[in-house]
Structure formats: structure tokens, C-alpha cells
Structure 1
Amino acid sequence: MKTKRPHMVSRGYIKGWADAEGIVEVIDIQGRRGLRQPIGNATVVNYVYEPAVLTSDLEAAYGQIESDGIPVIVKLRNGAATLTSADMAAMIAFVDMHLDRGRYADQAKVRTPAVLVKTGWQFEDPELSLGDRILLSQSHPDVLRLATLGLEQWPWRVVQAQGLPTGDGAVLLWGPAKGANICTVSFPLSPTRLLIIGEKLPDGIPLLPRLTANCKRWIIGAPGTLNLNWADDGGDATT
């Protein structure tokens, strides 16, 4: 089933940054604008994950991952001390999905020429949509899948923070040096909670600048925490 108004950053997730009226601050990097929006409208791009060629229902798959993952995020926000193996699997799938979406967040309108070989050696020249390209990438060996790292066996902790934003680039992968193996995955759960899977992050690490710089299309914050005039102020998204 086609989803007309999918969110490029999951609605149930960004609800954690909304005020009592359901408002968040959003920076649209491509549109070079900052605005306040209800979460129902934030990061919406019509039919963005609808495949043009392939038949898999990507949005339905994402919907199931969100349904399983959001309750685990809520548990972690609320201070749950332990997670079941099913909780961990759901959380890893959610973070993997967020990472997957983020890779292509600035390519919603990109169409890629392709050659389709049909039965009887008939050829067509379709254009692949973003949904097609994401589906094809899921079987590509060079695209990192967090589920392959054995994160269930790594330490999990939620640490206190202040004024954390989120966005399509909110999944950060850390290693001891450039090119080294990943040893830590971080992901904001709310403006005041940061999930860290793996080794502890060193004190003073530039988390906010790296997070906002890693976002390609959308940065989201609680009302009053983002620089909505960022395009006129040198590209600094935080106040």
C-alpha cells in the first residue's frame, strides 16, 4: 500500500523532542530554512520510499520496525535498567533503519537510470527511485549493517545529556582512529538521553557538532534549542 506522507525521520521517534503541543524545531538543510512544525508534518516527503521498479513494500517494512522499536525507545527514555533479547533486536533494527534512511536523506528527488532485462530478453530503461535504490543497497556487501556487528553482546548504557538534537544523521559510529573498527554506536533517544552501545565515549568529545554535520537533510530539536536562522549564521544549527 502506498504511503502518501511518510516521515524521513520516524514520527514516533521525534515525538521525544516535541513540546506539549506536539511542536518541534526543524532545519531543512536542502531547503535552507528553519521552522517550527507539528510532528505530523516534520520531515514528511510525499511517497519518498515508494519503489518505481521493485515490488517490495519498503514503507510497510519500515512501519513494522518502527512499531517494534518505538516502545523500546520509550522504555530506555524512562530509565529501563535491562532489555530483553527481543528488545535489543528491535532496537538494533530501528537504529539500522535510521542509519539506512540517513544515507539517502538528501536524495529524495534523485532518479537513477537503469536497464531492466525482462523475460524474452526484452529491455526497458526505467529510472530507479530512492525506494528502489535503498532496497538494492540492502543486499550490497559494502553497505554496513549494524545487525552484523553483534551489538547484542556489547555493553549498553543510557547517559544523561542536555539539549541533544537529532536528525537523519543521528546514528554515529565511533572508532579509536580513522579507519579502525567501530567500537561504539551512539544514538539520541531524547534531548536528555543518549544511547551508547559499546565502549564509553571519551570526555569532551564533540558530539553535537559531529551529529549535526552528519545530517544530510533534516535536523530536529526541542523548541528553543536550534538556530532557526542557521543559514544566515554560518551554518551553525545549534543555538
Structure 2
Amino acid sequence: MGGYDNTNYKYDATDYDGNTIYITKAANIAFEKGMLLVIAAGNKGKTGVYAPADSPNVLSIGAVDASGSYVDFSSVGSAIQPTQKPDVVAQGLKSYVIDRNDVIIGTLEGTSLSTPIIAGGITCLWQALPNKTNAEIMQLVRESASQYNSPDYFLGYGIPDLQLALNRTLSVKDIEGYEVLKVYPNPTTGSVYFKFPYNEHEVFVTIYNVFGKQVLSAEVTNVNNQIDLSSLSKGVYISKIESKNISKTIKLVKK
């Protein structure tokens, strides 16, 4: 599996078990510290995944072509790994890149191309869901993927849909109390209204655009229970709702 001059760092296939190889151990420690590692599965095909992609605590990324089909260089998982590998996949064949001089656009192949595609998307997802842990974000990504219910060693859970992951989380019914705090109508053409659970009387609402810039903030009470969004442009916004008992984020759509 590994070509190393120092035999102390030469591993057999059975060592890719998610806990034996030094770099895999380091990845596990990083996960425990709260980091989210997005790692290329490798380009060894049926020979198997690289380390630290074998770790159960990283998102290992395989490669597909533009049609979503497996490409034969993408490393496949096996029963040696304690969890499903690869986790998910993205385009790694004829992925578009720009040269180091920012002049020529071309294509390259490899899981080192599919991995940054996923990493960039996950960065945006975690920015939209700042209260989620690394483990929660990873699971959201897996659950959004195209073959989550029938994973295999070639595509893992499949091609993730990060918009789906976001939509499932930023639900208007995701704010729990004795009853649900409701925000309506959503989408809206003007104002949104808040219906409070029995144990809430006021919340502070901060609204951000998709670039993370704060565009509006207001205190909402069960008496003055609306926010006028008519000054905002059409589009998607992120609303953070906070009180002593609540700290949640939902998506708002302004028509």
C-alpha cells in the first residue's frame, strides 16, 4: 500500500483500519479537537483508500466523472475500514482548474480535485450552520448524498446535495420549545411574523445575506411580533434567532 524508504512507515493493507497509521491517528486527534477534515480517498482504484482517508473521523472523498459515474482510478473502500469509505464523491475527472499564473483554464483528474470541490461547499454549509459540530456537519453531508440508503465501496453514500442538507436543517419547524416557534410566511413578499411557544416572550433576530453580512436586526416580542423585510432585495437570507432558551438559525426567502 505505501512506498516508504523507512520500513517503520510501511504498511500492509490491513493497517488501513482507521486507527493504526500515524497520520490517521493524527486525523482522529484533530477531529476530537473540533476540526472537520475533508480528505482525498486516493487514486489507487481497487488497491484501496489512502491514509488518513481510512479514519472514521474524516470525510473521505472519491471521484466521479461529469455524468456521476465512478472513475476507475478513484480508491475504493473495503471491510477493513470501520466505517463506509469513501464517504461521498464529486467530479474528479476533467475537473476545471486554472494554472498557477491565473491565465490558462484546463482540466485535471484525481481525488485531489474532487476533494476541494467538496471542501469548499462544506465550508459554506458550516458557515450557514455555525452552531453545528464537525460530526453533525459530516452526517448532514452524508445524509444528503444520492445513494445514502444504499452505499457501496465505489461511490460511498454518493454525490452530496449541500442545498438539501441546508434546507433540511434550516426548517421553520426546527425551533423547539413546549410548542414550536413559528416564522411565517416563508417565503414572504414583505413582513414575517413570529408565533411564540408558551415559555417565550421575546427573541432577538439578526438577518444576514448569503455573504454573511448583517442586513437587519430587531427585537421581536409576542406583542410586536413582526419584522418588515420590504427594504430587502429578493433572495435568500439567514436568520439567527436567540433568547435565553433558543439559539437557532433558519432560512428566510424574500420574494
TM class by shorter-chain length?
A: under 0.3
TM-score (norm 1): 0.26
TM-score by length of 2: 0.25
Please identify which structure carries the higher helix content: 1
Larger relative contact order, structure 1 or 2 (CA cutoff 8 Å, min sep 6): 1
From the CA coordinates, give the structure whose radius of gyration is larger: 2
